[in-house]
């Protein structure tokens, strides 16, 4: 990971679930931890459509998107990456948390996902990673302009 960058403005993160699954214990806890750490959190109900997530990311001007997946919805994340690219949101960093089998993690990273968090991940690690990715995103966004 690149060096931690000073944030231009408070980090803003979208915590969401795409696809068909509704289990949201993980996304709620992570969202609360990020909020408690001072980040601005946009939280959605489960079952979001991919275009909706991209639109929300654009409108809310988020730096990071956290996708929670407990039941194979992570397989759709490469499609989300394409949608973000189409929307000109390449600078937005995407992390995935939940149940991602080992043999499928690389596919996500290859698609541009910044990091995959597995069950038992340290909350401080998640918060730190999001903060640092938000810094990168803000830098990249500035460069993109």
Interacting residues toward other proteins by CB under 8 A = 19-25, 28-29, 31-33, 43, 45-47, 71-73, 75-76, 79, 99, 101-104, 118-120, 122-124
Q: Dihedral of CA 97/98/102/104: which sign?
A: negative
- The runs of H, that is alpha helices, within 89-122 are 102-110
Q: Residue 8 or residue 75: which is nearer to other proteins going by CB? A: 75
CA-CA distance, 113 to 65, in Å (whole number)? 10
Least distance CB 141 / other proteins (angstroms): 27
Largest CA distance in the chain: 38
Least distance CB 31 / other proteins (angstroms): 7
- Measured N-to-C along each axis, helices 77-86 and 102-110 cross at an angle, to the nearest 10 degrees, of 10
Least distance CB 79 / other proteins (angstroms): 8
Q: Residue 7 or residue 123: which is nearer to other proteins going by CB? A: 123
Q: Residue 47 or residue 91: which is nearer to other proteins going by CB? A: 47
């Amino acid at each position: 990971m690149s060096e931690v960058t000073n944030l231009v403005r408070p980090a803003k993160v979208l915590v969401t679930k795409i696809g068909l699954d509704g289990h949201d214990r993980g996304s709620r806890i992570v969202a609360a931890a990020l909020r408690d750490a001072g980040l601005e959190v946009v939280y959605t109900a489960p079952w979001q459509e991919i275009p909706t997530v991209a639109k929300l990311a654009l409108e809310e001007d988020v730096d990071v998107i956290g996708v929670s997946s407990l039941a194979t919805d992570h397989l759709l994340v490469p499609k989300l990456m394409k949608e973000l690219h189409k929307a000109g949101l390449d600078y937005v960093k995407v992390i995935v948390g939940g149940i991602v089998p080992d043999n499928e993690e690389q596919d996500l990273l290859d698609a541009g996902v910044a990091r995959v968090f597995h069950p038992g991940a340290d909350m401080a690690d998640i918060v730190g990673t999001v903060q640092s990715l938000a810094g990168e995103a803000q830098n990249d966004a500035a460069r993109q302009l």
